[in-house]
Amino acid sequence: MQQDKQRLAAFIKGKKVAFIGAGVSHKTLIGQFCAMGAKVTLCDKKQLADFGDYADTLNQLGVALSLGEDYLNGLLAGQDIIMRTPGFEYYTPALQAAKAAGSLVTSEMELFFEYCPCEITAVTGSDGKTTTTSLIAAMFEAAGRTVHLGGNIGRALLPILDQIDPADEAVVELSSFQLISMRRSPKVAVVTNVTPNHLDHHKDMQEYVDAKRNILLWQDETCRAVLGYENEITRGMQADCKGTQCWFTRLRETDNGAFLRQDGMLCMAENGTVTPILHKDEIKLRGVHNIENLLAACAAVWGRVPVEAMASVGSSFTGVEHRIEPVRLLDGVQWYNDSIASSPTRTIAGLRSFDQKIIIIAGGYDKKIPYEPLAPEILAHVKVLVLMGQTGPKIEAAVRACPGFAESGLIIEHAKDMAEAVQLARKNAKPGDVVSLSPASASFDLYPNFEVRGRHFKELVNAL
C-alpha cells in the first residue's frame, strides 16, 4: 500500500544506489528510485549507444553511468546500496569488495520481502517450481483472493508496492540465485526437491543447497514450511524449520501433509484428520511429477483456501508454457515442448509421463552436472535420441556406457542446431509416435533462455 511505498522512499532518499544491469524490472525501478531522491548509477557491460531510446531516459533522469568492460568499477564509488539481478553472481569479487566497503547488496525481491504489506508464499526447488507456484496462485484466485505473482515468473513486484493490499496474497517463485543473499523468509515456504543444478555458477553442490535453505532459515514460529518427503535433501531440511512443517509425497501415506492415497485420491492429513481433495484421474496435467506439484500446492494453501477451490484448480489447470506443452499433431505424430527440462531430473520426469517409448531432442549448454542418472531412463523410455549442443556428446557417452545399451535398439542422431534436430525427429517418427523437446540441459549455448528455445522449437514444428 501507499505507506509501504513511503517507507521504501524514506529508506532510499538521498542514498547512492548502483543498479547492475538495465533489465525490465531495473528500468522501472531506476525511474522510481530517482523520483524517490536516490543518486543512481547504472553499471552495465553495454555501451550507451546500445540502449537505444532508453539512453535519453537515463540522461533525463540524471543517472550516472559506469559502462563497458570496466562497468563494475561503478560499484566501488562509495555506493550505499547495490541492486543486483539474479543472474549476477553474488560472490563476484567486485560485489564482495563493495560489500566489505560498506555497501548494502540487495535486489528487487529482497526489498520486496522487506516492505511487502501482505503475506508471501514462496516456492523453490530444482524441479517443479513454476508449476507449483502457478497452482498456488490459481488456488488463491479460485478462492476469490487478489494475487500478485512474481519472482522468477510473473512481473517485478517491488515497483507495484503501492497497489498491494494487506489482504492480498503474494506468490513468488525463487531461484537459488535470488535466495543466496536473502535475509528474510516467506510466511509459507515450499521446497519441492533439490538435485544437482547450476553447478556452473555455484562454487559447489553445498553452496547450491545452502542457497535453497535460505527460504527457511529466516522463518519464525508463526510460519509454515512444506517439504518434499521423497528427496533426501529436502527431507533433511526439516531441521531448519521453526514453525509448522508438513510434507508432500505421492509414494506413501503420511499423517502430516499432502499425499496420494492407494485409491488414487489426493489427500491432506493434519491433526489426525485425513481430508480427500480430488482423484488423480481428474487432474488435467500430464505426468506423475505434476501430481507431486499439485500435492505441494495443496499443502501450501491448506487452511487458507477451501478444498473445493483446490479441487477445481486441480481438475482444470492445463499447465504452463514449455512444460510438456502439446504443440501439434502432424501425420499422426504428437509433438511436445518441454523446454523447461534443463536438467536430467526434469527430463526424467517428462519421460515418465508417457506410456510408450518416445523420440526426444536433447542437449544444450553444459551446467557441469552428471548425465549418468539420465542414461537408464533414456534406454527405458526413448526409441530415438536426437542430440545437439555442448552436452550432446556427454549425454551420448553416458548412454553408450549404460548397461543394456547394446540390446536397447536406441537410435542416436546428431544435429547442428534446432532446425536440423526437428527434421531428424520428423524423419524418424511414424504415426502414433511422440516427439518431445526435452533437453536435460540449459539453453545458453544457442538461446538466451529456455523460453526462447521452446518458442523457436514450436515455430519450427508448426512450420512443418
Which numeric CATH code is attached to 325-462? 3.90.190.20
Identity of residue 371: Y
Domain ranges of the chain: 14-106, 110-314, 325-462
CA atoms within 13 A on the CB side of 212: 28
Mean pLDDT in each 10-residue stretch from start to end of the chain (464 residues)?
Answer: 86 96 89 96 93 93 95 91 89 92 95 96 92 96 96 87 96 92 95 75 79 94 97 95 96 97 97 96 87 97 97 89 86 94 90 91 92 96 97 97 96 97 97 96 90 96 96
Q: In the prediction, which pLDDT does 289 show?
A: 85
Q: In the prediction, which pLDDT does 204 show?
A: 75
Q: What are phi and psi of 156, to 5 degrees?
A: -65, 135
Spatial CB neighbours of 51, under 8 Å, sequence gap ≥ 6 = 22, 58
Inter-residue contact 191 to 230 (CB < 8 Å): no
Inter-residue contact 82 to 20 (CB < 8 Å): yes
- What CA–CA distance (Å, rounded) separates 445 from 394? 15
Q: For the whole model, what pTM was predicted?
A: 0.76
Inter-residue contact 299 to 331 (CB < 8 Å): no
Inter-residue contact 345 to 234 (CB < 8 Å): no
- What CA–CA distance (Å, rounded) separates 358 from 170? 39
Q: In the prediction, which pLDDT does 240 show?
A: 95
User: Which ranges of 326-371 does DSSP label H, i.e. alpha helix?
Assistant: 344-351
Q: What are phi and psi of 224, to 5 degrees?
A: -130, 140
Q: What separation, in Å, do the N-terminal and C-terminal C-alpha atoms of the chain show?
A: 50
Q: Which CATH number among 3.40.50.970, 4.10.520.10, 1.10.3720.10, 3.40.50.720 corresponds to the domain 14-106? A: 3.40.50.720
Q: In the prediction, which pLDDT does 18 show?
A: 96
436-453 burial by CB neighbour count: b if 16+ within 10 A, else e?
bbbbbbbbbebbeebeeb
Q: In the prediction, which pLDDT does 345 show?
A: 87
Q: In the prediction, which pLDDT does 199 show?
A: 54
Longest dimension (CA), the chain: 70
Pick from 104, 140, 97: which is nearest to 121 by CA? 140
- Which residues on adjacent β-strands are paired with residue 14? none
Topology at the third CATH level for domain 110-314: UDP-N-acetylmuramoyl-L-alanine:D-glutamate ligase (3.40.1190)
Q: In the prediction, which pLDDT does 200 show?
A: 59
